[in-house]
Copies of this chain bind each other. A is one copy, B any other.
């Protein structure tokens, strides 16, 4: 089996193009800031950015001028407040938006993953969301005539997910909150998996249930430890809640934000340099104590 391991720089250069629809998914957990920063460094433009929660990761990309459009369902800095760069871009008419609810976005990815022309869901009745977004439509059931809301498929050109580990064949394993990572990846034309750790295939094959994406659907595997910071990787490091809080004044001030991007993204050549700049003390503080899952027995059958 040919190895799929490449540098993140190569993976972004080969797979993310100006004008693409890009989904960097991960619900609070496993958000690939490393990939977002590489996209910024490579100066991508006119991207349509899809994500349930744009989070800091898209606030940074919008501030860096990568995006033309945002497709989302909850726009905020969780527990802190607004995403100011995105708000400014929307208010300045520089960023188009297309807005759903969480279930609507989940259903869009599910339709995209399974090549359905639409996905039905029990939402939007009595809400103003459908009036604000003409892509939310209605279908009648052929069984009882009941009308139900539907959303169209979302098929990103590229989906980037972060996970705890993968093997060189591209089998990706993740644990903890997986959100919509599976559906977003299956819906995409190209898939980049960024992982904390590259492991031998035997590690993956000892626990096949843990596999989120089989290698057949993954185009590139990139190894970037701490690549999800300030988001987290269950068992590897904690969410850096201080970073999320500190982002608010940075994001409010375009000059400070530009300086931050220069210092932490454009001025560095990759995630290793970012981690070095964070410093060992901050990194160590985010490491949890061990809490093993325990092992189950699959049995050896001969």
Footprint of B on A, CB under 8 Å?
Answer: 115-122, 137-144, 146, 148, 150, 152, 164, 173, 175-176, 203, 206-207, 209-210, 234-236, 238, 288-302
Contact = CB atoms under 8 A, between A and B. Distances in A.
Given A235-B297, A298-B175, A292 B206 contact: yes
B300 A293 contact: no
A142 B150 contact: yes
Q: Which 10 A-B pairs have the closest CB atoms?
A: A288-B299, A117-B141, A235-B297, A207-B293, A291-B300, A289-B300, A235-B299, A137-B142, A292-B295, A291-B298
B117 A148 contact: yes
17 contacts: A118-B141, A118-B142, A120-B120, A137-B142, A139-B141, A143-B152, A175-B296, A175-B298, A203-B294, A209-B293, A210-B296, A234-B298, A235-B296, A235-B299, A288-B299, A293-B297, A293-B298
B294 A290 contact: no
Contacts of A150: 142
A236 B141 CA distance: 44
Given A118-B142, A120-B118, A296-B292, A209 B176 contact: yes
A293 B291 contact: no
A300 B288 CA distance: 5
